[in-house]
Structure formats: structure tokens, C-alpha cells
Amino acid sequence: MQRILAIFMNNLGHILSISIVNFNTGEYLLRCLRSLENLKNEVEFDIWVIDNASTDGSLQKAKQEYPSFKYIENKENFGFGKAQNIALYQIKTEYILLLNPDTELSAGVLPTMLKFMSVQKTVGAASCKLILGNGELDWAAHRGFPTPVAAFRYYFLGDDSKYHMSGKSMEKAHEVDAISGSFFMTRKFVLEKTGYFDEEFFMYGEDLDLCYRIKEAGFKIMYIPQVSAVHHKGISSGLKKMTENLSTADLETRVRSLNAFYFAMKIFYKKHLEKKYPDYINKLVYLGIDLKWKMAKRKMNV
């Protein structure tokens, strides 16, 4: 299998760019870049690192260790989508992988994903399986759209079948509604057709919004569980229980991230779903978001 993939990739040449937005991820950025450097014999690719005014020295260390990579240094924290767009407008390769700096890739992931995308022309975006640092599955890479019914069944009935599409077979490649921006492989021409990230989303929700627009444009969103990557989730925000003690995020960053998380829910719902439901349903949805937001402020995690 590896020999077939190697022949396939040699025939493709340079078709992939990997775009990473960094904000104070410390050693995790270096671990991510090292994992990519180890895969250069499998796939020829460019690496773009867009830094959102980090103050932890992570950018400087990355530039010192990997001076040949492309770096964009923002003077302030633009958030995820706006920072990605700065690079995405410049990238010209056929395929683009949006990757979080707190991920680590292993052998075979990139050629497998590229081969799948090259064969399946109707696929607009795809993700591999994402495994959290504790070994659990990252369901954010395997989502349904958060309709009122899906959200109600998930939060109040414990039914994950629509919210995270948990009823799907996790052994075979299959279509989902949305994948995570932490590992998001897409095509340049798809982004040109659908538009890039909506910069109204500071962080969180912008990947969901892009998936919605990709599907509206007639493309599929696919989940490929045959290959996987590790995702040390929440290093920049400090909001995830499993990594809150590993993150160096200060209180200001955590509060901003928390507010962005719930504000993104409102932006997405208003943009894509509000017009599909009666007013009383919409009021209940916004009330539910506000209540969840208020409760989350007490715990400072999501």
C-alpha cells in the first residue's frame, strides 16, 4: 500500500500547501512542524505559519528551527478565520490543508488524504480521524449541523446521533455535515467558489460555516477514518478540560475565547438557520445559547 501511495504522490508533484495559525502554542507548534518535516519524503508541500502576535516565543523558535517555511507575522490577534484568509488568498496550490498547531501527523496521512481527494472529485473538504491527547475520539471532526432538533436531542436527551452523527459507521469513509478546522483538507477552486472564511467569526464556528457553504455549493464533506492525527485540543484557548493545565492562556485570552465560542453559535444560527424556523423556536434557541454561555462562565471551559 505504501509503495502504491509513493508512486501516486511522485506523479502528482507539488500540489499541497499546509496553513497553520499560531497563537501562543509554545512547544506544540514545534511538535507539529517536526511531525510535518518527517513527512516530506511522502509528499511535497509548502508550510505557511500565520502568527497572531504570540508573546511566548513560539514563532521565533519555529523560524529558527525551520527558516525555509513561509511565515506571516500579524501585529495583533486577528482570530482564526481572518488569519487563515491572509495566507489562503496567496496560496496557489491545488490542495490546501488547514491544520492546527496543536496537532501531530503520522506517516501515511497526507498521501492517503490526497489520493482520496484526487479520485473523489465531488468532495469539497475532508478530514482524517482526530484522536485527542487522552486517546478519545475528537467528535468535532465528525459533526452534523446544529439544528434546533439536533441540539435539543444532544443537550437534553443525551442523543448524539444528529449533533455528532454518532450513528455512522466509524470504520469506513463516509459523508458528514461538517469537519473541524484543526484538520481541514480542501481545494483552492472550492474556496474560490464558496468564498473564504467569514471573518465575523473570531474563532470557533468559522469551519462549520465554511462547511455549510461548501455543501450548499454542491460538494461533499467527507470523514476518512483509515488514517488519523493527534489533536491536543485547546492549547491556545485554555478552555478544554483535558489541556487547560497544559495551556499558557491567560485569563483575558480564556474569557475572549469563551465569548467567541458562544457568540459563534449565534452568528451561525442567524446566518444559516434562523430563517428556516418560526420566531418562537428562534427565541428558544437564543435563550438556550445564553443560558449555556452563562453557565460556562462559571466553569471557564467548554
- Choosing among 3.40.50.80, 3.40.50.300, 3.30.450.40, 3.90.550.10, the CATH entry for 2-299 is 3.90.550.10
b or e along 236-256 (b: 16 or more beta carbons within 10 Å of the residue's beta carbon)?
Answer: bbbbbeebbebbebeeebbeb
Which of 222, 296, 234 is CA-nearest to residue 265? 296
What percentage of the chain reaches a pLDDT higher than 70?
96
pLDDT at 116 (0 to 100): 97
pLDDT at 228 (0 to 100): 96
* Whole-prediction pTM: 0.93
Cell numbers standing for residue 44 = 511535497
- Indicate if the pLDDT at residue 284 is higher than 70: yes
Tell me the per-residue pLDDT of 53-98, one tens digit each, with 9 for 90 and over. 999 999 999 999 999 999 999 999 999 999 999 999 999 999 999 9
Which of 6, 84, 1 is CA-nearest to residue 39? 6
Alpha-carbon span 25 to 28, nearest angstrom? 6
Provide the pLDDT confidence category of residue 166 given band limits of 50, 70 and 90. very high
Average pLDDT over residues 124-140: 95
pLDDT at 248 (0 to 100): 87
pLDDT at 15 (0 to 100): 92
The chain-wide mean pLDDT, for the chain, equals 93
What percentage of the chain reaches a pLDDT higher than 90?
86
Tell me the per-residue pLDDT of 217-246, one tens digit each, with 9 for 90 and over. 999 999 999 999 999 999 999 888 888 888
Task: Map residue 251 onto helix, strand or coil.
Answer: helix
| Residue in the block written with cell 508573546 | 55
pLDDT at 302 (0 to 100): 85
Task: Map residue 131 onto helix, strand or coil.
Answer: strand
Which of 113, 126, 168, 173 is CA-nearest to residue 144? 168
Tell me the per-residue pLDDT of 12-49, one tens digit each, with 9 for 90 and over. 557 999 999 999 999 999 999 999 999 999 999 999 99
Average pLDDT over residues 247-260: 92
Average the pLDDT over each of 117-121, 248-252, 289-293 and give the range with the smallest value. 248-252
